[in-house]
Structure formats: structure tokens, C-alpha cells
Homo-oligomer: A and B are copies of this chain.
Amino acid sequence: MGTRRVTMRDVAEASGVSPATVSFVLNDVTEQHILPATQERVRAAARELGYVPHAIAKALREGSSRIVLLALPQGIRGPGLDAYTRGLDDELARHGHVLLVRHGSPLHGGLESVVASVAPRAVIDLSGLYQDEAAVAADGPVTTNDGGWVDGLAAHTLVQLRHLVDAGHTSVAVALPEDPGWARLAAVRLGFARQAAVRLGLAEPVVLTVPRDRAAAIQAVRDLRRDHPGVTAVASFDDAVAMQLLAALHGLGVTVPDELAVIGFDAVEYGSFATPALTSVHIDAGAYGQRAARTVLGLEPPADPPAGATVVVRESV
């Protein structure tokens, strides 16, 4: 119980040297020449005593902890983001850092106070991607040190639309969620979709906002089909929107994919349980996470751009 923690001074005493020497040995400071014999004694003592460096003391000295903070909004999820997080974590671990996630309620004074009380080595703030409409107006760069995650979304959106083109579609709609919490990201993604349409020689995509309410969603789809009868496929913001769409189309008696094709984004597993099973875009974001890690740590990011996205072909396109 009351056993005080083992400090460097304990190790120093046990091995008959000064704390400074212990520090040099345990940190492999090459500028400082320590007799191999001494090194051995120090290491042995450290091992025997079970010395563990005190992270807080180290952080005080170094000015920041070895934590990297990933700020995410509440309730934002998805396979792609999971992969991103994993890639980030792995690469950080490789360099002795730890990834901690802050699922930020915008309450609580926001990030600053958290950053102040954690003193992380770096912060990757993705919460700007998911702001309410008020914040959407001021659209500067969404985020910077994300390792290209947001830029990657552009490429992935291209993959999504290209699949529709490859399936023979020439006039498509883009389905966006109604939720204001997604407004910022929805706007970003819509921009990417427009760019992709241009590159693919498609007509300007029709925008379909899908309401939460089931009846309203059905109405929205009905309107789309009436106003834009030429549209034969819908590229969805994500799989949740796609599945809402599928449900609405089922309600309307529209067959998928024959009368209207639907493709999701960021393939979730449960998409395969829909009827028809949802075709979607699988995003392997691990490489982006790794890039982000190297960026925030000030290391050279890998030259080769990350691998992109692939289409998970099921039944809805």
C-alpha cells in the first residue's frame, strides 16, 4: 500500500551514482559517455526496483505530455473514422505517444479548457467538420493537420460517383441528411460531389435533402422523382441516409436498383442487412491516420498518397 513510488533518486542510490547519471543512462544520451559497467549497474538497479519514469514530471520538464488529442463531436461515428483512429493510434504508439479522444460537447467551454488541463503534444480537431449552420457560414479551411483526411473524402466521393457512371448512370442525385449537426460536412461533401461530376462528365447533381421523419422522407423522394424523372441513381452522404432512402423507396413501391439505384458511403456492416443490401464505399482511412500522426509529431509524412476507397458491391446499384 503505502509504498512510495520508485524515483530516479532511488535508482541512483541503489546503483551508487547520481540521479543525473541515471537520467543519462536510461535516456541513452549519446553526447554523454558513461562507462558500460556503470550503465549496466544502473539498468540492473532500475529493473530490480521496478523503476517507471514519472510521466507527469517528464511532461513538466518537456512542456507537454505525450498525449495527442483527437477532438471529435458527440455521436460521430463510422467505419472510416474508426480506421482513421486506429491508424493514428498505431503510428503514435510507435513513437511513444498516446491517442486520447475527446468526444466534445460544445458545452464545457470547448476545447481550450481541455487542452489547458491535458497539455497534449498536439491536437487534431475534427470537430470543425461537424458544426451547426451558424458556423458553416464562415467556411475557412475545415482543418489542417488531419493527414489529408478531408482531402481524401474528395477522392472517395469520386469513387462513389464513378461507380454509378460505370453502372451506366448519367444523371444522379446527391442525398444529404437534414440534421443541422451534419450541415458543415454535408456542404463539404456536396462540393466534392460537384467536382466529381464535372470530372466524370455528369450533369450537375440534383440535391436531395432527406428529412428525419419517415413520411416527410417519402414525400421528398416522391418530389424528386416527379421533378427530376431523368435521375436514375442517388449517391448518399452516408449509409444511414442511404438506408432511409431505401426505406422510403420501399414505401413508395419503387424497385431498387432497377427504377432507382442507391449507393451509400463508408460501408457499415448493417448495410448488408437492408433489402436490397446496400452497395457502398468502403474507406480505408488507416493510412490517413498514420499521415496525421506523422504530421503532428513533426515527422516526415510518407511520400506516397494513401490508398483510396473501394466499392462494396451488394445489391442496390
Contact = CB atoms under 8 A, between A and B. Distances in A.
Interface of A: 52-57, 59-60, 64-67, 69, 74-75, 77, 82, 85-86, 89-90, 93, 98-103, 105, 107-108, 113-114, 116-119, 214, 239-240, 243-244, 246-247, 250, 269-270, 272-275, 277
Contacts of A119: 54-56
- Quickly give the copy total for this chain: 2
10 contacts: A52-B116, A55-B117, A55-B119, A57-B60, A66-B117, A69-B100, A98-B114, A100-B102, A247-B272, A247-B277
A81 to B, nearest CB: 10
Contacts of A247: 272-275, 277
A174 to B, nearest CB: 19
Contacts of A74: 82, 86
Which of A77, A118, A250: most chain B CB closer than 10 A? A118
Contacts of A77: 77
Nearest to A85: B103
A75 B82 contact: yes
B60 A56 contact: yes
A214 B272 contact: yes
Given A100-B101, A102-B100, A240-B270, A93 B107 contact: yes
Nearest to A5: B63
Contacts of A90: 105, 107-108
